[in-house]
Structure formats: C-alpha cells, structure tokens
Amino acid sequence: MASGVQVLRWEGARFLRMRLVLSTLSGRSLRITGIRGQELEPGLRDFEASFIRLMDKLTNGSRIEINETGTTLYYQPGLLRGGAVEHDCHPHRSIGYYLEALLCLAPFCKSPLKAILKGVTNDQKDPSVDTLKVTALPLMKRFGIDGEDLDLKIVRRGMPPAGGGEIIFSCPVRRFLKPIQLIDSGKIKRIRGVAYSARVSPQMVNRIVDSARSILNKFLPDIYIYTDHMKGANSGKSPGFGLSLVAETTNGTFLSAELVSNPSGQGLPVLPEDLGMNCAKLLLEEIYRGGCVDSVNQSLALLFMALGQQDVSKVQMGPLSPYTIEFLRHLKSFFHVMFKIEIQPKEERKGGEKVLMTCIGVGFSNINKVVT
C-alpha cells in the first residue's frame, strides 16, 4: 500500500463511489470537500453513507472521517478482507449500484467474498442484478477470475420504491489478472433474456415477451426469453415488472439492454407491450454500438486492463460513455495509467463508431491473498 503518498483531493459529490473504489485498490487516501455545499440540503446523501458503510465492512483498518455537515469526507483505505458480508442497501439506489463496486474489489480481497445484499434489485437508475449476472461475470472470467465460486444468485426480487429483494454474490480471489486481447466481437448468434414481475398479474411477463419477440424475430431466429414471476415472500414489497435482454456473439461477447416499469405511485403507468418493444429497440441500438464489451461494463474492463500484469491488453469498444471518460481520468490520477485510444476507420466498421483501447497493466498484485 502507498501509505506515504500524498492525499488526493477532490471537490463535489460527483463520482464519489468511483473515487472510493479506486482509493481502496490503490491504497491512496483521499479528501473530498464541498459535497453539495451550495445546495439547500448539503452533504452526503443517505445512499452514499450506506455505500461508505459497505466499504467499511469490506476492509480492515479503514479510517473514515466525515464533518458535522457531511460536506467533507476523508478516507484512508484499509486492507480488503472479503469473507461473509451482509448489507442493507439504501432504497434510493438499487443493489446494482453497490454490486458494481463489489465486482471491482472482490477479486483482490484476502479471502473469497460472499456478500448478501438486500434492497431494490431492479430500478431505472442502475444496472440490474440480472444484467450484471449475464454480462459482468463472463467478462471477469476473461481476466482469469473464474471457477464455481464466481456466482450471483437472485434470492428475492425487490422493485422500487420499497425494495425487499435479496441477492448473494460470491467471488474467488486472484493474485494476478490476465492480460487480454479482445479486438473482434464476432457476429450475434443468439439473444436471451428474462422478463420479470412482482406483485402484478402473471400475464404481464407474457405480454412483455410477445412484444419484444415481435421486434427481435425480424433479425434473429434463436431467441429465448425466460419468464420470472415472483410470488409471496420472494416478490418483495412493491409491484413492478421489467425486461433484461442480452445478445451473445460467436466470440463470447455479451451486449445488454434493460427497461423497468415506473415505481408504484411515480410517473405514468407503463404498458408491458411498450416496455418490451422499447427494450428490444435498446438492444438493437447496443448491438449497433457494438464492441467486445457493452456500455454497462466499459469501466470494469478498463480497470482490470489497467491492473493486469505488465503486458499489453487491447479491447475494442463502442463509443465511450461520459462515465467511462471520467473513469479514465481517475485511473490516471490513482494509478498513473494512460490508454492509447484509436478510432477505427469508417470503412472497417460494422455498425457505429468503434474505439480500440490499449494499455500496459501496472502489474497489480493482490498482497492480501494468502499464498498456499
């Protein structure tokens, strides 16, 4: 750990989660000031405080200081411990918000992580647990994070606003990450998905499936969308429904899209037919964007490339999202890693604009892992 390194300083509430994750991995302390200092309700929000508590549970020896107004945060990271962790996620953000951070941190814990997260499983703000299961886990396997210990199980589904869902995420630890070369995404060979509902009529999921297939069947014959209608205690505390779709290519790339109904009592009611069709169109748009990593997992791929062994990694991606661009800036601040970005010539493209991301890994070693 870089204990003697100068404290990194930031201002404002943006990218708080990103900064805490990179601080923990790099061992560099940070101080964030002016957190919503100009707003009527200054300081950290409840969901951010909940995330900080999760970081504290994941580590041993972290030092966290927050001033009385919540506008200044000092974080000195401890060692990632892993093991069994249970956390009640704040309902303002879904479990996916917390799970995305665990995906980044779990491989570098001292012992294999088994995290039980409770709260909202599917909402309109964050990637759902369904999408992360079918896209992020296969991506982690590319970097050598694989085995039966890598698993994500949805025990109960929880829709907003009240939640009530529960998932179990298990992840093995690794001492090093493999460098990767993903420069050809291949052709789409099949589409899979899950239409889910909780505390509404079971017919909702069938209507979603029929409307999504009415679009996708024009492009591909191999389509199967599962239906998941939760009942009783497994259906959470609020009604709702949604659809998560993933397209798999011949080279093992997974491209995803998802839509969720409006929370109970918020906004106009959403017809399942409209949701299914719109989600299918979003998937086709993601396929057009293309690349070997979908837009949801761009930052996860770039992080593992940067932390890999001191060898060249290359990944072709679709257009970089604004979040990904900011993530690249933060990687430079915390790890001094810079990527070579090459835009694919127009005549060589299939679909939208593609960029080839290249870097040499920093040779990050999991010093927490017990050598056996």
121-127 average pLDDT score: 95
Q: What is the CATH number of domain 1-80?
A: 3.30.110
CATH superfamily assigned to domain 188-289: RNA 3'-terminal phosphate cyclase, insert domain (3.30.360.20)
The predicted pLDDT at position 349 comes to: 77
Judged by DSSP in three states, 54 sits in: helix
The predicted pLDDT at position 372 comes to: 41
Model pTM score? 0.95
Residue 168 has pLDDT above 70, yes or no: yes
Helix H segments across the chain? 16-26, 46-58, 95-105, 129-142, 203-216, 272-289, 298-307, 322-335
User: Which regions of the chain carry the CATH code 3.30.360.20?
Assistant: 188-289
CA angle 10, 86, 95 (to 5 degrees): 60
Q: Are 316 and 298 contacting, i.e. CB atoms less than 8 angstroms apart? A: no
Residue 198 has pLDDT above 80, yes or no: yes
The predicted pLDDT at position 189 comes to: 96
Instruction: Band the pLDDT of 232: cuts 50, 70, 90.
Output: confident
User: Which regions of the chain carry the CATH code 3.30.110?
Assistant: 1-80
Nearest to 233 by CA among 340, 158, 306: 158
The predicted pLDDT at position 370 comes to: 52
The string of DSSP letters for 285-350 reads: HHHHH-BSS-GGGHHHHHHHHHHS-SSEEEEEESSPPHHHHHHHHHHHHHH----EEEEPPGGG-S
Residue 371 has pLDDT above 60, yes or no: no
**Percentage of the chain exceeding pLDDT 70:** 97
Judged by DSSP in three states, 275 sits in: helix
Cβ burial, residue 355 (10 Å; 0-12/13-18/19+): middle
- What are the C-alpha distances in Å from 9 to residues 246, 310, 325? 39, 28, 19
Q: Are 245 and 208 contacting, i.e. CB atoms less than 8 angstroms apart? A: no
d(CA 353, CA 349): 7
Q: What is the mean pLDDT of the chain?
A: 94
**Considering just the CA atoms, what is the radius of gyration of the chain in Å?**
21
